[in-house]
């Protein structure tokens, strides 16, 4: 499909253009053009992958941090609210870039895939390899499916307003649901020394974190109890709304960046 967009005006056979003018293009024919474009892909896509992976892990560590580092912090009240609110930044900005410049509905999925890869590297090497925590206690959450939902929404709607209203809402709404298959084994109750805890709580107690005493965990704290036991759905809907707002903010930032002169020069 993409090959069709290569200009046809370049000659198929090599022609010494230097005979005609002093300043010549480095690309002399269609074959070389194609090779150059392929090289740009080969250099740019992995570079973007690494760049956004690094940025997102750094951003996540600063804004979410312990809430997603440890299995015993991922509660049903704060984790599903804080994480999508923070994480929507990169899908929004990269989504605008990919869509406006290339008409590729890939920004969110690309951002989430690069974030996931960088997270696994960080958790495996730092938390598991270096610090010695069991990998199951520090493994990352999954976001790829939510990125696809965002990308599909911009593809089908072609509207940032609708993408925010539907895609970003789903991004926040389904954060907990998509991760439940990973979390559920750690929410089984345990009677430990006459105290009821979950498997995740018990791991937090057993695997010593000198700098993270139990009271530091910000979990289950809030007054969102109006609907009785429906804490998770209530938080999910609220997370959806705040994610919409943050998504619009960063889409606006993305558009501003796309209009800057340095961005045009970069591309």
Q: Which is nearer to another protein, 51 or 131 (CB)?
A: 131
The tally of CA atoms less than 13 A away on the side-chain side of residue 141 is 31
Binding residue for another protein, selected from 31, 125, 195, 260, defined by CB under 8 A: 195
Q: Does 186 bind another protein (CB under 8 A)?
A: yes
> Residues in contact with another protein, total (CB under 8 A)?
95
To another protein, the closest distance from the beta carbon of 84 in angstroms equals 14
Which candidate, 144, 133, 234, places its Cα nearest to that of 182?
Answer: 144
Q: Does 107 bind another protein (CB under 8 A)?
A: no
To another protein, the closest distance from the beta carbon of 19 in angstroms equals 27
Q: Does 237 bind another protein (CB under 8 A)?
A: no
Q: Does 201 bind another protein (CB under 8 A)?
A: yes
x-or-dash string of contact with another protein, 121-140, rule CB under 8 A: ----------xxxxxx--xx
Q: What is the DSSP string of 43-77?
A: HHHHHHHHHHHHHHHHHHHHHTTHHHHSGGG--SS
To another protein, the closest distance from the beta carbon of 172 in angstroms equals 13
Q: Does 92 bind another protein (CB under 8 A)?
A: no
Long-range contacts of 199-206 (CB under 8 A, 24+ apart): 200/71, 200/72, 200/74, 200/137, 201/72, 203/71, 203/72, 203/134, 203/137, 204/70, 204/71, 204/72, 204/137
Binding residue for another protein, selected from 10, 59, 104, 253, defined by CB under 8 A: 104
To another protein, the closest distance from the beta carbon of 235 in angstroms equals 12
Q: Does 34 bind another protein (CB under 8 A)?
A: yes
What residues from 141 to 160 belong to the interface with another protein (CB under 8 A)? 142, 144-145, 147-149, 151-153, 155-156, 158
Helix (H) or strand (E) holding 189: strand 189-192
From the number of C-beta atoms within 10 Å of its C-beta (0-12, 13-18, 19+), residue 259 rates as exposed
Q: Which is nearer to another protein, 23 or 181 (CB)?
A: 181
Tell me the two tokens of residue 222.
Answer: 């809030």
| Residues 6+ away with beta carbon under 8 Å from 226 | 234
SS3 94: helix
Q: Name the CA radius of gyration of the chain, rounded.
A: 23
x-or-dash string of contact with another protein, 47-76, rule CB under 8 A: -------------------------x-xxx
């Amino acid at each position: 499909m993409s090959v069709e967009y290569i200009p046809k005006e370049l000659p198929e056979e090599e022609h010494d253009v230097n005979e005609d003018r002093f300043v010549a293009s480095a690309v002399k024919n269609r074959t070389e053009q194609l090779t150059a474009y392929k090289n740009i892909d080969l250099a740019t896509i992995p570079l973007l992958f690494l760049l956004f992976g690094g940025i997102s892990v750094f951003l996540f560590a600063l804004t979410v941090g312990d809430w997603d580092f440890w299995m015993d912090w991922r509660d049903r009240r704060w984790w599903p609210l804080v994480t999508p609110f923070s994480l929507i930044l990169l899908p929004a900005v990269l989504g605008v870039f990919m869509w406006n410049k290339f008409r590729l509905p890939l920004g969110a999925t690309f951002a989430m895939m690069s974030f996931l890869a960088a997270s696994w590297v960080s958790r495996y090497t730092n938390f598991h390899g270096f610090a010695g925590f069991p990998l199951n206690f520090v493994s990352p959450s999954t976001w790829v499916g939510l990125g696809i939902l965002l990308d599909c929404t911009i593809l089908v709607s072609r509207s940032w307003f609708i993408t925010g209203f539907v895609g970003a809402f789903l991004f926040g709404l389904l954060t907990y649901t998509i991760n439940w298959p990973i979390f559920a084994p750690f929410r089984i109750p345990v009677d430990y020394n006459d105290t009821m805890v979950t498997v995740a709580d018990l791991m937090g107690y057993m695997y010593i974190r000198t700098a993270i005493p139990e009271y530091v965990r910000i979990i289950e704290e809030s007054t969102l109890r109006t609907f009785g036991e429906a804490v998770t759905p209530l938080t999910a809907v609220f997370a959806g709304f705040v994610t919409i707002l943050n998504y619009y903010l960063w889409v606006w930032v993305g558009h501003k960046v796309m209009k800057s002169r340095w961005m045009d020069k970069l591309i």
